[in-house]
Amino acid sequence: EMNELKNKGVKRILNMAIECEDMIGLKDTFESYLKLCLKDSVEEDVESGLKVAVEYIVQAQRDQSPIYVHCKAGKSRSVTAVLAFLIESRRWTLRHAYDYVVERRKGICPNIGFVAELMRLEEKVLGIRRSSMTTEMDWAENEAMDKNNKVESCGMG
């Protein structure tokens, strides 16, 4: 796994999972390593963690240092960080960011607490009153689309 990351030119690692320890020496191998100790729980307060994650990704982009963002399953916490980055740095709607990410990584499933935080972020960053994905129907449509494409669904509807 480490060789694959090196072969892809990755220079920085962002670990979004409290339970993922650096057992293979990522800290010593890559230019920069940051661990944010977040639980994949609807009760987890991710606002400050997302700010740090977005800043870290933005800095990597500025420095032209490819970054690998991960969590335990690669479905919720890491995806939430990437979605927050796209909303903040590119000023994309949550819907646009979600569609962009799901097209590149099937089976994503940010937990509903993280989705609520992303909706608040979208409203704040874009200055809108209502998120682009405000209804359960929006998530249900994405889930149905995933099922039609035989992709694992996350039960967001």
Residue positions annotated with a catalytic role = 71
Residue 119 phi, psi dihedral angles, 5° rounding: -65, -40
Six-digit token string for 137: 């129907």
Six-digit token string for 48: 């400050």
Reported as type and span, the H/E element at residue 147 is helix 136-148
Q: How far apart are CA 97 and CA 117, in angstroms?
A: 14
